[in-house]
Amino acid sequence: MNSTQPVPDLQHRTVLLDEAVDALDLAGARASGTYIDGTFGRGGHSRLILSKLAPQGRLIAFDKDPQAIATAERIDDPRFSIVHDSFATMRQALAVRGVQRVDGILLDLGISSPQVDDAARGFSFRNDGPLDMRMDTTRGISAAEWLAEAPERQLEKVIRDYGEERFAFQIAKAIVARRAVEPISSTRQLAAIVANAVKTREKGKDPATRTFQAVRIFINQELEDLEAGLSAAFGLLAPAARLSIISFHSLEDRMVKQFLASKAKVEQPDRRLPIRAADLPQPLMKLLGKAKPSEGEVGANPRARSAVLRVAERLEAGSGAPA
């Protein structure tokens, strides 16, 4: 086993690395369990998990990005396997592998620094490149293809709902006007269209930030994957298993927070009813808190500033309950 120790990645700084992995509680007998890294990225979390696993332990990772898959395939460790697909498919993928329950799941949502920094991927407006934005470049339509055909109302809805952009109407109208003149095929073109349509913006934030986020989320079906992934994760967690999730924007974090809260609370019956304490409904999960990056981490990696880690544990009462 020659690639199990956590090593520095010159391209990607894993946010909340220790906190997210420590939350899985890989001590004692738990080190021999089966774990999921739903977002391999460049392997920071996976390598740290492997460094803590016992020889009998197992780690199954997922990622949609072919470049991430290529990195994962360089890990020479019999305890590790990689699945080229979204974590939303984890339940089906594990069933094929004969796994019904796992001892912990880690999700690091959003995009990785290598994806942002590679202009050819089209995720960032800071360097000009083709408007692709697909996490999985082997399937689906690119951002440029969608922008060329999407109705104005759909453009407005996506930019407003996924980007929380108050100038969504103006931006959608500007996109439709420009594409009638020439194809919108580069990140610089889209950024310029947005800048001309947005008259005011928060200090220190590029006018295109929210629109690029919205298009990326839509193209990759990120919120749909998150909804399906949360449900799948809950169904796979064994009693006492942990779910550790890092989110980077308010839409993701809101979904995670609401999902975990829904599993941690129960509807209280009418106190006037003669119900024994043992028969009262029990919560399915216990919330273990949240964490944010330290000032030092944000100083070293400004992209970490919006990260939020939330952790919950599956309770005995939820064992065998349908997801």
Indicate whether 213 and 232 sit together in one domain. no
* 105 and 230 belong to one structural domain: yes
Q: What pLDDT does 274 receive?
A: 65
- In terms of domains, do 166 and 214 share one? yes
Residues 257, 178, single domain; the answer is no
At residue 223's C-alpha, the angle toward residues 166 and 220, to 5°, is: 95
Q: What is the pLDDT of residues 213-256, one digit of tens each?
A: 999 999 999 999 999 999 999 999 999 999 999 999 999 999 99
pLDDT of residue 200: 76
Q: CATH no. for residue 21?
A: 3.40.50.150
Q: Tell me, what amino acid is at 65?
A: D
Residues 247 and 260 in one domain: yes
Alpha carbon distance 206, 321 (integer Å): 46
Give the pLDDT of the chain (323 residues) as one tens digit per residue: 333 333 333 355 788 999 999 999 999 999 999 999 999 999 999 999 999 999 999 999 999 999 999 999 999 999 999 999 999 999 999 999 999 999 999 999 988 888 888 898 999 988 899 999 999 999 999 999 999 999 999 999 999 999 999 999 999 999 999 999 999 999 999 999 999 999 777 777 889 999 999 999 999 999 999 999 999 999 999 999 999 999 999 999 999 999 999 999 876 655 666 666 555 678 999 999 999 999 999 888 888 889 999 999 999 854 444 44
- Given 219, 242, 266, the domain boundary residue is 219
Same domain for 25 and 64: yes
In a domain, 204, yes or no: yes
Domain shared by 293 and 213, yes or no: no
Binding site annotation covers 84?
no
Q: Does residue 85 have a known ligand-binding role?
A: no
Boundary residue ending a domain (201, 219, 237): 219
pLDDT digits over 141-169, tens only? 999 999 999 999 999 999 999 999 999 99
List residues bridging with 37 in a β-sheet: 61, 106
Residue 11 marked as a ligand binder: no
Residues 227, 211, single domain; the answer is no
In a domain, 131, yes or no: no
Alpha helix stretches (DSSP H) within the chain: 17-22, 44-52, 66-72, 90-96, 113-117, 143-149, 152-163, 168-179, 187-197, 209-219, 222-236, 250-264, 295-300
Q: How far apart, in whole angstroms, are the C-alpha atoms of residue 273 and residue 286?
A: 26
Strands 34-37 and 102-108: parallel
- Structural domain containing residue 166: 137-219
> What pLDDT is recorded for position 30?
96
Q: Count CA atoms closer than 13 A to 316's CA, side-chain side.
A: 0
Which residues, 6 or more positions from 319, have their beta carbon under 8 angstroms from its beta carbon? Answer: 238, 239
Closest to 176 measured CA to CA, from 158, 156, 191? 156
Is 12 flagged in the annotation as binding?
no
Let me know if 221 is exposed, middle or buried by CB neighbors in 10 A (0-12, 13-18, 19+). Answer: middle
Q: What is the CATH classification number for the domain harbouring 181?
A: 1.10.150.170
